[in-house]
């Protein structure tokens, strides 16, 4: 859904862009109560998210949480070694403008925006056990999150603990050289979730947690520290209802699993599915149905 300039996604949504309408049709067919989006351009007024929610059904999805990404935020450093300090590769996360490729939630249930928690400003060098090197460009300013790390509470019932969504998008562990900067960053972006879950950066979350992120890391195929992904799932005792389903289809390296919807053990998984790939798309829609006994139908 991302575009090459600010405001272009809103324009295309309002014009009824065919590909975006097809995407909305697919979401309507899946009929989620909560929809987590990656790579939706961020704007402070949430115009893009509101326009997409209106394509689905404005009455059914009244609650929005646009989440600002690190993509496109300038660092003032030449991070990619091209002799310039203001290109897309020199931003906190690769991006042509601040807000490109953002994150967000569209929901039938209320979102407690007062309790939103962002960890996107954590500096890479400050992560416990960081793999950043002092020789890496931008050592003192580089944020760890390329896309973002957010914890979003959804209120499923009054006087009940919220459903905590862990939402993020990591840098791919490729497009670098033998220094493996992107591979190390991808590894540490995953480890930041462990620190969040362990309470390093604030109160430990309740028992209702769903990890909903594109880690750009397949536990079995492709580049990157693959075992870290499988270790993460096992260490935190997440349920993995779709362990063998690829979520992205590339000509090269082929089908891979890089996006995840992983409920905690406190949730009863009723169904799970990876939907067919839409024409012109790379990533597939993932749905997981869980039973929450104290949550009314929204």
**pLDDT confidence bin for 298, thresholds 50/70/90:** low
Q: Tokens 């520290």 map to which residue?
A: 225
Distance in angstroms (rounded) separating the CA atoms of residues 100 and 88: 10
Residue 262 phi/psi, 5-degree rounding, is -125, 105
Distance in angstroms (rounded) separating the CA atoms of residues 90 and 142: 10
Residue 215 phi/psi, 5-degree rounding, is -90, -10
Inter-residue contact 264 to 238 (CB < 8 Å): yes
Residue 259 phi/psi, 5-degree rounding, is -115, 150
| Element housing 196 (H / E) | helix 181-198
Quick check: 290 pLDDT over 90?
Answer: yes
Q: Where are the domains of the chain?
A: 8-289
Q: Tokens 């699993």 map to which residue?
A: 257
Inter-residue contact 90 to 75 (CB < 8 Å): yes
* Other Cβ atoms within 10 Å of 1 Cβ, number: 18
Q: Give the tens place of pLDDT for each residue, 274-285.
A: 999 999 899 999
Q: Give the tens place of pLDDT for each residue, 10-38.
A: 999 999 999 999 999 999 999 999 999 99
pTM score over 0.75: yes
Beta-sheet strands, E only, within 102-203: 103-107, 117-118, 148-154, 163-169
210 DSSP 8-state letter: E
Q: Give the tens place of pLDDT for each residue, 101-122.
A: 999 999 999 999 999 999 999 9
Which residues does residue 64 pair with via DSSP β-bridges, in sequence order?
106
Distance in angstroms (rounded) separating the CA atoms of residues 121 and 162: 24
**pLDDT confidence bin for 297, thresholds 50/70/90:** low
Q: What is the CATH number of domain 8-289?
A: 3.60.10.10
| Residue partners of 130: CB distance under 8 A and separation at least 6 | 124, 188
Tell me the three state secondary structure of residue 173: coil
Which tokens belong to 264?
A: 């905690």
Q: Give the tens place of pLDDT for each residue, 212-256.
A: 999 999 999 999 999 999 999 999 989 999 999 999 999 888 999
Distance in angstroms (rounded) separating the CA atoms of residues 89 and 134: 19
Quick check: 162 pLDDT over 70?
Answer: yes
Region 43-50: what's the mean pLDDT?
Answer: 95
192 DSSP 8-state letter: H
Query: What is the Cα Rg of the chain in Å?
Result: 18
**pLDDT confidence bin for 267, thresholds 50/70/90:** confident
Greater pLDDT, 126 or 292: 126
**pLDDT confidence bin for 97, thresholds 50/70/90:** very high
Distance between alpha carbon 169 and the CA centroid of its chain, in Å?
A: 4
């Amino acid at each position: 859904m991302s575009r090459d300039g600010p405001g272009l996604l809103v324009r295309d949504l309002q014009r009824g862009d065919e590909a975006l309408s097809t995407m909305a049709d697919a979401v309507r067919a899946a009929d989620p109560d909560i929809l987590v989006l990656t790579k939706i351009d961020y704007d402070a007024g949430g115009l893009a998210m509101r326009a997409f929610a209106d394509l689905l059904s404005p009455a059914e999805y009244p609650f929005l949480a646009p989440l600002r990404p690190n993509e496109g935020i300038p660092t003032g450093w030449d991070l990619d070694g091209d002799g310039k300090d203001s290109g897309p590769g020199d931003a906190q996360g690769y991006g042509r403008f601040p807000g490109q490729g953002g994150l967000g939630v569209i929901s039938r249930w209320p979102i407690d925006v007062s309790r939103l928690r962002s960890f996107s400003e954590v500096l890479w060098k400050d992560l416990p056990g960081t793999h950043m090197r002092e020789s890496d460009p931008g050592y003192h300013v580089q944020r760890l999150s390329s896309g973002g790390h957010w914890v979003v509470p959804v209120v499923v019932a009054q006087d009940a603990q919220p459903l905590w969504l862990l939402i993020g998008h990591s840098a791919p562990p490729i497009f670098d050289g033998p220094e493996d900067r992107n591979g190390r960053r991808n590894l540490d972006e995953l480890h930041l979730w462990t620190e969040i879950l362990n309470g390093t950066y604030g109160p430990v979350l309740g028992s209702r947690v769903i990890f909903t992120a594109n880690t750009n890391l397949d536990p079995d195929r492709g580049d990157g520290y693959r075992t870290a992904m499988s270790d993460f799932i096992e260490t935190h005792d997440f349920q993995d209802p779709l362990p063998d389903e690829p979520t992205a289809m590339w000509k090269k390296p082929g089908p891979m699993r890089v996006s995840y919807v992983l409920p905690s053990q406190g949730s009863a998984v009723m169904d799970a599915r990876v939907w067919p790939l839409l024409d012109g798309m790379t990533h597939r829609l993932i749905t997981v149905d869980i039973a929450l006994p104290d949550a009314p139908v929204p």
